[in-house]
Structure 1
Amino acid sequence: MLPSPRLLAAARILANVTQTELALRAGVSVSALRRLEVGDTDARLNTVLALTEALRACGIEFLLEPSAKTEGIRHTKPPRTTDSPVEPEDSRVQRKRVGAARSRRNTTPP
C-alpha cells in the first residue's frame, strides 16, 4: 500500500522539510510534488516511491495497514552514533566524582 498524497504532505511537514528540499532529495520536480500534495494529479509510481524513500531518510516511518485501510506516520529517533555528543553515564559519574574531590581539596576546614 502506498501513502496517500495527504499522508505524504503530512510526513513532509513532520520531517520539517520544504517542498523544494524534499523534491531535491527525491529527484522530482517541485511542481510535481506540489500537484501531488494537493491531489491535482495521479502521480507516477516512481515519484511516490522516491518521495517515500526521501522521507524515510529524514526519519519518517510510514504506518500503512492495508487490511484496515488505515495509514499514519511517526518520526523515528535517529540512531545514536559513537561520535554522538551525549556522554555515556559512566563518564558523567566519573566527572562528578572528580569535581567533588576537587571542591573538597579547595575548601579550608573551619
Structure 2
Amino acid sequence: MGYTQTGIENLLELKFRSVYTLEARRYKLTPRFAYLLQEKYEAEGVEFTDASGPVGQGIRWKLPGRKDPYRRALLPAARGLANLSQAQLAKLAGVDKSFVARFERDDFDGVSQAKLDRIEQALKTKNVEFTRETAAFGAGVRWIKNPAPTEQHSKLPQ
C-alpha cells in the first residue's frame, strides 16, 4: 500500500522500530499487533485469502481496477511471502539492488521487462507467484503451493 515501516508504526501508534524488529524476526507478532495490521490493511482494500486446493494463502486487492501494470505495489508483499530482502531478491534475480529499491519506491523512468521477468522467476523459485486481476477481484500474491507450516513466515505485506 506504500506505507513505510515508520508510517505503519505512526498509523497504529506502535513503538519506534517495532515493524523493523518484526520483519527482522527479532520480535514476535502479538495477537493485538496482528489484529491491528490486518484490520488496517482490510480497511485499505486488501483481502487475505485462505489456501484452496493446491494453492496456498495470499493477499490481493478486494476490488479490481488498481492501476499497477508492472506489479510495483505488490512486490513488497511478494518479497514478504518469500522472506527476501531487496538485496536478496536482486541477487537471486540477477538484477541490481538499486533497481529493486527504485522500483518499489516508484522512482524509475523506464522499466526493463527482462528484469521484471527475472524477478518474477526468482520469486517462483521461492514458491511465490503474482495473481492476475479478474472481473471480481484485484491482483495479488500467493504461495504457489500450500507450504508446510514451518515454511510460512508472514502473510502480511509491508
User: Using the alignment, how far apart are the partners of 1:36 and 1:68 within structure 2?
Assistant: 27
Corresponding residue of 1:24: 91
Normalising by structure 2, we get a TM-score of 0.44
Matched, 1:37 2:100: no
Which residue is 1:107 aligned to? none
The answer on 1:52 being equivalent to 2:128 is no
Distance in 2 (CA, whole Å) between partners of 1:24 and 1:17 is: 10
Cα separation, partners in 2 of 1:24 and 1:69, compared to 1, 3 Å:
same
Taking the aligned partners of 1:10 and 1:50, their CA distance within structure 2 comes to 17
| Separation in 1, partners of 2:81, 2:144 | 11
Unpaired segments ≥5 residues, structure 2: 1-67, 149-158
My pick for the range that moved more, 70-79 or 14-23, is 70-79
Report 1 or 2 for greater relative contact order, CA contacts < 8 Å, sequence distance ≥ 6: 2
Q: Quick one: structure 1 residues 76 and 66, their matched pair in 2 at CA, closer, same or farther if it must change by over 3 Å?
A: closer
Deviations 1:12-33 (A, max 9, x none): 1111111111000100000011
Task: Give matches, 1:91-110, under 5 Å.
Answer: none
Q: 1:100 — aligned with what?
A: none
Q: Over the residues paired in the alignment, what is the CA RMSD in angstroms? A: 2.6
Instruction: Give me the identity figure in percent.
Output: 35
1:5 Cα deviation (Å)?
0.7
Q: Could you say if the C-alpha distance between residues 2 and 26 of structure 1 is closer, same or farther in structure 2, counting changes exceeding 3 Å?
A: farther
1:49 is displaced (CA, Å) by 0.6
Deviating more after overlay: 63-72 vs 27-36: 63-72
Q: Which residue of 2 aligns with 1:93?
A: none
Aligned to 2:138: 70
Distance 1:4 1:25, change over 3 A: same
Equivalent position amino acid for 2:128 in 1:
I
More helix by share: 1
TM-score when normalising by structure 1: 0.62
* Number of residue pairs aligned between Structure 1 and Structure 2: 80
- CA displacement 1:64-101 (0-9 Å, x = unmatched): 12656821111234789xxxxxxxxxxxxxxxxxxxxx
Specify the code of the residue in structure 2 equivalent to 1:26: A
Q: Tell me which stretches of 4 or more aligned residues in structure 1 moved more than 2 Å.
A: 65-70, 76-80
